[in-house]
Amino acid sequence: MSPALLIDRLCKSYGTVTAVSDLDLRVEEGQIVGLLGPNGSGKTTTVECAYGLRKADSGTVRVFGLDARAEPGRVARLVGTQLQDSALPDRIKVGEAVHLFAALAHRPVDEAETLRRWGLADRRGAGFGSLSGGYRQRLLVALALVARPRLVFLDEMTTGLDPNARREVWDLVEEVRRGGTTVVLVTHFMDEAQRLCDRLAVLSRGRKIAEGTPTEIVNRYGGGTVVRFPVPPGQAVPRLGDLPGVQTVNHSDGRIEVRGHGPFLVALGHALTVAGLSRTPLDVASPSLEDAYVRLLRREVAP
């Protein structure tokens, strides 16, 4: 079966600025795949090339096996998009916009149901220009889905949404996926990526620098789990550096900090128990996706 999206060695420059360089990306049908990366790293350019809005300098994009350049019309019918800089005329009303997009779709969703699900029913008569940032964003995401696309690109879909609205939109995106739609999600929010995405690709300066499930990225780049605990004065401390999975041990000001991977927590617990420290309060900090991301990018820009 063809993947929903297959990008092969995509390159795109704007004059002397290289926006995307030799990028490969494979998105299997039914997945939610996140594109992460700092500002200017090429995420929107990748999405725009994949959607056919921009012409790549080289490389290929296939959507469900179709060459996006050779068959733009067929590809467009399979794809929906909420682009980062999307906008509508200020005077178009919410209900009119949904109606317009539905009229252009081959097999549109129910308009009233869409307005209700996206919390827009009360604002159906409001002009786009009068909507707050969050409601504009909801409308643009809703419009991306009106034609029941098999693949949808959502570029910073929750930027500007309040915390509750973000969670509502996450639920809706999961529902969209349950309905069979594949999602490519560009986001700067690590909690969003962690919660929604099956896989992640991290871009930096137009190149893909990491890829994997959120858990894989955390394990690979998060720097390990850190355990801190106090040591009473005069207490003998076992040799912890030799335990399996331990990377570093630091001892200062009556506290020990052990950093490690994999099975080291069990080994550490056992060693402390044997040393008579079983009642010691342990402060355990596991790395988050944000920790991993920040470490990965620091490493990337380090000289």
Residues engaged in binding Mg ion (CB under 5 A): 43-44, 84
Minimal CB distance residue for Mg ion: 44
45 is an interface residue for ligand ATP by CB under 6 A: yes
Say how far apart CA 143 and CA 108 lie, in whole Å: 10
> Per rule CB under 6 A, is residue 173 in the interface with ligand ATP?
no
CA 136 to chain centre: 21
Contacts of 186 (CB under 8 A, 6+ apart): 34, 35, 43, 44, 47, 84, 153, 154, 155, 156
Using CB under 6 A, count the residues that bind ligand ATP. 12
Nearer to Mg ion by Cβ, of 94 and 157: the residue is 157
Cβ neighbours of residue 298 under 8 Å, at least 6 residues apart? none
The H or E element containing residue 81 is strand 79-82
Minimum Å gap between C-beta 15 and ligand ATP is: 7
Cα→Cα distances 91→81, 135, 145, 220, 223, Å: 22, 15, 22, 49, 51
Nearest-approach distance from CB 185 to ligand ATP, in angstroms: 13
195: number of Cβ within 10 Å: 16
| Greatest CA separation for the chain | 79
Q: Does 43 bind ligand ATP (CB under 6 A)?
A: yes
Nearer to Mg ion, 38 or 212 (CB): 38
Residue number with CB closer to Mg ion (43 or 166): 43
Q: Which of 9, 14, 110, 180 binds ligand ATP (CB under 6 A)?
A: 14
C-alpha–C-alpha distance, residues 29 and 1, integer Å: 9
Strands 66-67 and 58-63: antiparallel
160 binds ligand ATP (CB under 6 A): no
Q: Does 86 bind ligand ATP (CB under 6 A)?
A: no
Task: Name the one range near ligand ATP by CB under 6 A: 34-42, 90-98, 106-114, 255-263.
Answer: 34-42
Please report whether residue 60 would count as binding ligand ATP according to CB under 6 A. Answer: no
State which of residues 21, 31, 41, 114 lies at the interface with ligand ATP (CB under 6 A): 41
Considering the rule CB under 6 A, would residue 208 count as an interface residue with ligand ATP?
no
Q: Which does 34 bind (CB under 5 to 8 A by kind): ligand ATP, Mg ion, none?
A: none
The one-character DSSP state at 50 is H
CB closer to Mg ion out of 121 and 209: 209
**Alpha-carbon gap, residue 184 to 47, rounded angstroms:** 8
Residue 16 near ligand ATP by CB under 6 A: no
> Which residues bind to ligand ATP, rule: CB under 6 A?
14, 17, 19, 37, 39-45, 84
